[in-house]
């Protein structure tokens, strides 16, 4: 049975949680702690799958509780449920908590958050791997600027100047967002020189996605030598742009864009956490071993699964998490419907033909995509027509 620890110093809140979650008593073994000290004592005496804690509590606050959980029980899912967070706590929570929910929080939303986090955790069956991935510091549980944007966008009254000011606090991220916005992908009517203009032209969802991409691909600790960070980012941008173009006016077009941007985030995760093991896997690929086989042999997990695990704990949309999880599996049967995952699959295959120089050598084993696959998805396009469309989309990219 799943064990969940709820921590709040207000008895009324604890009783409310116990009452509203009563229907889950057959699924979850729920324990309630009245403060940080009691929570840590509970975690020392037994293991919990999920921690849900308030932030502002007398004595030991929620930030300290989450920090303790990450250090001593890194595979525990860490969720903060609070009505207040100051700037200093925000900075700490970015690298400590997997999810942050604002009070008041509807019961259904809290249940959904816990269920999705657990489903994502189950992508990786090895407790050792979950613990190691859960304790990462090289890629924090959510990059700082993106986390700040997520919180700001919860406010229905937030304006463009607020969004711009958050991004502009990080000059490196600002520069990368502007660089990509001015690339040929977006066909803007004029060159954009300010973040506020970028938000206005591209919309909040696109700029938020670009912010996350910029942070993830920022140079940091050394990666496995076979990973070329610039090539990985160029590949991600191409796949994201093509996937969104394929999605057209669907309501999941932005999910397709984000899934394309993040489909290889697992390489960044494993390349830092399992640097030598991933290097051995990529060397095996260069010698002819299929990527999935090499990753399972040398690392113990595929990069798609590891990336999806991380993104799921960050709380990204399920459609994005699923697309990242399934994208490396070339043998996957055709999907029954056209969605973000199939858009990313098609985008990868198209890019391999149109711009093979933007496809890392370990990603060249693309799934076979052709007219039969497109027809099975109900798409009114031929493979040749999509190739022509993508040629037009990526032309000029080399000059960006």
Domains of the chain in start order, with CATH, are 2-122 (3.40.50.2300), 139-219 (no CATH), 222-400 (1.10.3210.10)
> Is the pLDDT confidence value at 11 over 60?
yes
The distance from CA 70 to its chain's CA centroid, rounded to whole angstroms, is: 19
Q: Give the relative orientation of helices 171-181 and 204-216 as an angle to the nearest 10 degrees.
A: 120
| 50 touches 76 (CB < 8 A) | yes
pLDDT score recorded for residue 121: 76
Q: Give the relative orientation of helices 340-354 and 229-247 as an angle to the nearest 10 degrees.
A: 120
Say which residues have a Cβ less than 8 Å from residue 272's Cβ, sequence separation at least 6.
136, 138, 139, 220, 221, 222, 223
| 321 touches 304 (CB < 8 A) | no
Residue-wise pLDDT for 362-395, tens only, equals 887 656 678 888 888 888 889 999 998 888 777 5
Residue-wise pLDDT for 141-200, tens only, equals 456 788 788 778 777 788 888 888 888 887 778 877 887 777 666 667 777 888 888 888
Match 């009452």 to its residue by tokens: 19
Say which residues have a Cβ less than 8 Å from residue 45's Cβ, sequence separation at least 6.
none
User: What's the mean per-residue pLDDT of the chain?
Assistant: 83
Residue-wise pLDDT for 270-281, tens only, equals 898 889 999 999
């Amino acid at each position: 049975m799943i064990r969940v620890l709820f921590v709040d110093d207000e008895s009324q809140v604890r009783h409310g949680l116990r009452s509203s979650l009563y229907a889950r008593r057959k699924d979850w073994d729920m324990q309630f702690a009245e403060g940080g000290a009691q929570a840590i004592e509970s975690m020392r005496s037994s293991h919990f799958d999920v921690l849900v804690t308030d932030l502002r509590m007398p004595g030991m606050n929620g930030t300290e509780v989450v920090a303790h959980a990450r250090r001593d029980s890194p595979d525990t899912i860490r969720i903060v449920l609070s009505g207040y967070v100051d700037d200093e706590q925000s900075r700490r929570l970015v690298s400590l908590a997997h999810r942050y929910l604002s009070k008041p929080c509807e019961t259904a939303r809290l249940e959904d958050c816990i269920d999705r986090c657990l489903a994502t955790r189950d992508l990786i069956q090895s407790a050792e791997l979950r613990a190691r991935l859960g304790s990462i510091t090289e890629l924090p549980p959510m990059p700082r600027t993106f986390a700040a944007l997520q919180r700001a966008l919860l406010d229905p009254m937030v304006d463009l100047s607020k969004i711009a000011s958050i991004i502009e606090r990080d000059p490196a991220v600002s520069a990368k967002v502007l660089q990509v916005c001015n690339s040929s992908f977006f066909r803007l009517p004029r060159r954009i020189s300010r973040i506020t203009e970028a938000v206005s032209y591209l919309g909040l969802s696109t700029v938020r996605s670009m912010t996350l991409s910029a942070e993830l691909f920022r140079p940091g600790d050394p990666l496995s030598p076979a990973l070329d960070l610039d090539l990985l980012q160029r590949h991600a941008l191409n796949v994201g742009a093509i996937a969104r173009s394929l999605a057209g006016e669907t309501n999941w077009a932005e999910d397709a864009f984000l899934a394309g941007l993040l489909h290889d985030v697992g390489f960044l995760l494993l390349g830092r956490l399992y640097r030598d093991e991933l290097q051995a896997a990529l060397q095996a690929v260069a010698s002819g071993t299929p990527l999935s086989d090499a990753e399972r042999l040398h690392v113990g997990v595929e990069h798609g699964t590891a990336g999806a695990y991380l993104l799921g704990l960050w709380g990204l949309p399920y459609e994005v998490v699923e697309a990242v999880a399934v994208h490396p599996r070339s043998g996957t049967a055709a999907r029954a419907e056209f969605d973000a995952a199939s858009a990313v699959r098609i985008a990868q295959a198209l890019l391999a033909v149109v711009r093979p120089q933007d496809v890392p050598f370990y990603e060249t084993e693309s799934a076979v995509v052709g007219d039969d696959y497109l027809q099975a998805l109900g798409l009114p396009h031929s493979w040749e027509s999509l190739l022509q469309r993508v040629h037009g989309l990526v032309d000029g990219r080399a000059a960006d």
